[in-house]
Amino acid sequence: MISLSLQQIVAATGGNLKGADLVIQNIFTDTRQVASDGLFVALKGANFDAHDFIKKAEEAGAKALLVEREVSSELPQVIVANSKEAMGKIAQKIVELSSAKFVGLTGSVGKTTVKEMIACVLSLAGNTLATKGNLNNDIGVPLTLFRLEKDIEYAVIEMGANQPGDIRYASGLVHPDVAFVNNVAAAHLEGFGDLQGVATAKGEIYPNIKSSGTALVNLDDAFAAYWLERIKTKVLTFGLNPAADINASQIRLDENGCAEFILNIQGASVPVQLNVPGQHNVPNALACAGACYALGIELSLITQGLQSFSGVAGRLQVYRPSELLTVIDDSYNANYTSLAAGIDVLMSQSGVKILALGDMGELGEHTREYHEKAGEYAKQAGVDILVTIGVHTRTAQSAFKGKGFHAQTQAELIEYVSSQLIEKTTILIKGSRSARMENIVRALTREPVNIQGGC
């Protein structure tokens, strides 16, 4: 972290300091992760109040506290009106002190993969910081920005949203040099109502781009024109559409289902071989290429980074635990668009093809519709067996109208799948976080050979 004094934090947050001024090297919100020389931020929510854990923070080595009310402690305290809002203001101060170039991205599908692709490329050009895991909300983005150091040259910040205003807030902390919406799909509809609501919320990232910055727009997305009409900065477009500034031609899939294509960037063309399966990763690679190109990264480094990227855990990672079984782990999360992409990857494999599907969450009134579409798409694509678990996947099973099995428990699902392994089989495992489908992956792979890794 770029160090700050408590007085600087007071100035940034409008708080009051009780106790001595100190220099802070770390900021934490979890008493299980506090380190020495750290500022513990006591967050307060509907069902918790971290002010109750001040003693634990002290024992863990906190050097100072940021609180909403004065607490009994010998440590210096910065007292603020709202600790979560104060976190954002501190993050803004750290961004102000940083000389890094920032990429901000959001989207319904593939944003974590694209984030990691971009980080893979930028790490070849300089010291790079990227969002870890799912730290992409109103707390996670500040925590990511707290990790900035003076020597960081590039920062890739993923931004998620559950409701309107989330992206406006997160991108306002950063004011990125380059920003984009990867795509719009039927995800988190519960918080946005419909796809237009998703597009509007995701598009909140564009007004917060620096005036000298660049907006990337996915020309393949149905909402491209909607965003283009509203963007005030320089624009680059990307997509499979030949009219896009960054596009792909001569796309083909190799024997592992990974795409080879020609990357075209404003008159320059280079061949690219991806090491992650699925044609849907071509647009992801184009988004990455566009973001890095906008930052002035050489085309040779963009190509090198794309070709060295080999995936993100839980997102179409391929395992081969035995001669008979290939497991495609896409268990991290699920919506209809990502499920369809996963099924396409499954169908590129040989042998019997099984889809193991858990419930897709946060679809609101569209829940039944998209589970029904899931079953129909699996049948249409040629999936041999649909194995489901959960409440809503019963709808998918009914729509599939083929060989299937609905499990009551994960153990039952695992037992059924294991009984089907009498010839070469590939199984795609998919579901929202609440379905905990990673348990199925662990059970089937045991000690697998992962044929994909990281950057």
Q: Which of the listed residues 13, 47, 80 is the one where a domain comes to its end?
A: 80
- pLDDT over 70 (residue 213): yes
| 261 lies in some domain | yes
Give start and end residues of each alpha helix (H) in 265-392: 281-294, 299-308, 336-347, 367-381
pLDDT at 209: 98
Residue found by looking up tokens 């044929």 in the block:
451
| 266 lies in some domain | yes
pLDDT at 423: 94
Supply the CATH number for residue 435's domain. Answer: 3.90.190.20
Of 127, 133, 179, 175, the C-alpha closest to 155 is: 127
Do both 321 and 379 map to the same domain?
Answer: yes
Do both 332 and 262 map to the same domain?
Answer: no
Do both 186 and 266 map to the same domain?
Answer: yes
Do both 251 and 166 map to the same domain?
Answer: yes
pLDDT at 22: 95
Do both 255 and 117 map to the same domain?
Answer: yes
The per-residue b/e assignment along 149-184, b for 16 or more CB within 10 angstroms, e otherwise, is eeebbbbbbbbbbeeeebbbbbbebbbbbbbbbbbb
Task: Locate 68 and state its tokens.
Answer: 């909403």
Do both 334 and 397 map to the same domain?
Answer: yes
pLDDT category, 383, cuts 50, 70, 90? very high
pLDDT at 362: 81
| 408 lies in some domain | yes
pLDDT category, 274, cuts 50, 70, 90? very high
- Over residues 314-324, the pLDDT tens digits come to 888 889 999 89
Overall number of domains in the chain:
3
| 131 lies in some domain | yes
Neighbours of 18 (CB within 10 A): 16
18-to-27, 75, 151 alpha-carbon distances in Å: 18, 9, 32
Q: Which of the listed residues 273, 288, 308 is the one where a domain comes to its end?
A: 308
- pLDDT over 70 (residue 89): yes
Do both 197 and 140 map to the same domain?
Answer: yes
- Over residues 47-83, the pLDDT tens digits come to 889 999 999 999 888 999 999 999 999 999 999 999 9
Do both 291 and 321 map to the same domain?
Answer: no
| 141 lies in some domain | yes
- Over residues 342-371, the pLDDT tens digits come to 999 999 898 999 999 999 988 888 899 999
- Give the integer Cα–Cα distance in Å for 408 and 404: 13
| 104 lies in some domain | yes
Residues contacting 301, CB < 8 A, separation 6+:
121, 124, 125, 292
Do both 250 and 395 map to the same domain?
Answer: no
- Over residues 166-204, the pLDDT tens digits come to 999 999 999 999 999 999 987 656 667 788 999 999 999
- Give the integer Cα–Cα distance in Å for 99 and 121: 19
Do both 164 and 197 map to the same domain?
Answer: yes
Task: Locate 87 and state its tokens.
Answer: 């976190």
What average pLDDT does the structure give for the chain? 93
Supply the CATH number for residue 70's domain. Answer: 3.40.1390.10
Do both 168 and 202 map to the same domain?
Answer: yes
pLDDT at 165: 95
The mean pLDDT value for 327-338 works out to 90
- Over residues 407-444, the pLDDT tens digits come to 999 999 999 999 999 999 999 999 988 899 999 999 99
Q: What one-character DSSP code corresponds to residue 361?
A: P
Supply the CATH number for residue 241's domain. Answer: 3.40.1190.10
- Written in H, E and C, the secondary structure of 387-430 is EEECCCHHHHHHHHCCCEEEECCHHHHHHHHHHCCCCCEEEEEE
- Over residues 109-140, the pLDDT tens digits come to 889 999 999 999 999 999 999 999 889 999 99
- pLDDT over 70 (residue 453): no
- Give the integer Cα–Cα distance in Å for 37 and 386: 53
| 93 lies in some domain | no
Do both 19 and 120 map to the same domain?
Answer: no
pLDDT at 452: 52
- pLDDT over 90 (residue 455): no
| 221 lies in some domain | yes
Q: What residue numbers bound the domain in which 75 lies? A: 4-80
Q: Are strands 425-430 and 404-407 parallel, antiparallel or unpaired?
A: unpaired
